[in-house]
Structure 1
């Protein structure tokens, strides 16, 4: 069994590692070192965002790593107060300048912000930037099926992925089915449930059975579902632990037991229909 992340192929033909490092809430002063240690561990996907305030330091960490640019997959995101054609173009170029890169592998609309009602205009600009070669692939975060359908109806172009809150307590099966039916990739943020799962007896039992940590069990569950996963840790030791999930496999019964943990009201983060400007993942 492989000990490195599988590669996911998007519907646009581009590829990405299934497992990546996220830097939400990583202090800017620590970000370059965190990115360097993750790359040393083996991570090749680095996920940041304009609102995180550490794009420049992500770029610094990439340069310090010594890896060739084409060996890395870099994601950043458009924040909610920069929707619309001109604002999106401006925000993207600011992110590119901070990263000091010639292109990003993936650019995402961070939230749909339907009350503003400009996510289609932003999407149109992402398509233009992709066509210019400044972005390899384009996607979204926190979009619901009707938001995704609106993009398809208005532009004929669907995101390669939708990065959403997804963990054992909130499994988003309806949304994942929409993604599957439209050849879109599901990518999980806060895949460990923001610390709410540590005392779950089902997960503890499965972890003991496999001689693994609870975090490793949940991350393994994510990748066996076929999800891409963004994990966050400042600790090199924890980064290595989170990365070491490809040398074991959960049984069908393990997967079924975790599936039973889903809760209709299990969302821990903001509601995409209501969320506008405050800082969030």
Structure 2
């Protein structure tokens, strides 16, 4: 594991306006220092406002954004990232990802990755990476810019979608795995197996799902609008699951993918 990516961050997917300001500000108040946003979320300026209101030093934070599919070409990627930096009121973000491989755009992985690497070389982002890439596309990204330039692949992972082939490949390449949708839109929260494990740890099912992901070596970015949930999620870091409990969760795999947009998603492994 190359631990470029903080293990625990707060996500902002589907949060806009005052909701995202309150969520990020609360997260920063209770101890989060990594924030995940994206151009398509339409909330980069609000994330910045939350940071400004929290009065936490920029150098204490790890900010991730993602380039949207319309901006992959050479003439658009860097201007779009500069626009994101303007909204976030920062000279550089810590991590910039290609959001979806989006084969329908007709832009090759090599081209989009080389454009992203240029942004890094210009000092607009400290690290670069990918999101929602399968093994084949990750190999193309590695061939284009070198494995040392791919900090993470941010992919959907939950007890119901364990994506083992991709995870094994990434970890063998020493590329950090960032798990999003770790609670499968809340579907895992009612799971009887997780509930049983949660009881043993005097924890919630959400904490168990997050603890599982952390123990697998993934970074997690759960979002919440509730103060108590933001605190509870962080406490997942203190839970140590037994080998038997990890095996019980391994058996929950059902290929339960929640996010698979046509034209954007690859053919999954």
Q: TM-score when scaled to structure 2?
A: 0.93
What pairs up with 1:180-259 in 2 under 5 angstroms? 180-259=171-250
What is the CA-CA distance between 1:138 and the residue it aligns to?
0.2
Deviations 1:179-227 (A, max 9, x none): 0111101101110111211221111110111110000000000100000
Separation of aligned partners in 2, 1:262 and 1:159: 27
Aligned to 1:267: 257
What pairs up with 1:1-281 in 2 under 5 angstroms? 9-10=2-3, 15-118=4-107, 119-157=109-147, 158-263=149-254, 265-270=255-260, 274-276=262-264
- Which secondary structure does the structure 2 equivalent of 1:245 belong to? helix
The worse-fitting range, judged by mean Cα deviation, of 243-252 and 142-151 is: 243-252
What is the CA-CA distance between 1:243 and the residue it aligns to?
0.8
The worse-fitting range, judged by mean Cα deviation, of 174-183 and 23-32 is: 23-32
What is the CA-CA distance between 1:116 and the residue it aligns to?
2.0
Aligned to 1:4: none
- Which secondary structure does the structure 1 equivalent of 2:256 belong to? coil
Separation of aligned partners in 2, 1:104 and 1:36: 18
* Shift in CA distance, 276/246, structure 1 to aligned 2, threshold 3 Å: closer
Q: Which has the larger share of helix?
A: 2
**Structure 2: runs of 5 or more not aligned:** none
Separation of aligned partners in 2, 1:21 and 1:46: 5
Separation of aligned partners in 2, 1:114 and 1:182: 24
What is the CA-CA distance between 1:83 and the residue it aligns to?
1.6
Aligned to 1:5: none
What is the CA-CA distance between 1:9 and the residue it aligns to?
3.9
The worse-fitting range, judged by mean Cα deviation, of 37-46 and 124-133 is: 124-133
Does structure 1 conserve the Cα–Cα contact (< 8 Å) formed by 2:16 and 2:46?
no
Does structure 1 conserve the Cα–Cα contact (< 8 Å) formed by 2:73 and 2:112?
yes
Separation of aligned partners in 2, 1:276 and 1:16: 24
Does structure 2 conserve the Cα–Cα contact (< 8 Å) formed by 1:206 and 1:254?
yes
- Which secondary structure does the structure 2 equivalent of 1:231 belong to? coil
What is the CA-CA distance between 1:275 and the residue it aligns to?
3.4
* Shift in CA distance, 254/226, structure 1 to aligned 2, threshold 3 Å: same
Deviations 1:217-264 (A, max 9, x none): 00000100000001000111110011111222110100000001112x
Q: TM-score when scaled to structure 1?
A: 0.90
Does structure 2 conserve the Cα–Cα contact (< 8 Å) formed by 1:28 and 1:53?
no
Deviations 1:53-79 (A, max 9, x none): 110010111111111111000000111
The worse-fitting range, judged by mean Cα deviation, of 59-68 and 105-114 is: 59-68
Does structure 1 conserve the Cα–Cα contact (< 8 Å) formed by 2:190 and 2:205?
no
Separation of aligned partners in 2, 1:248 and 1:261: 19
Aligned to 1:3: none
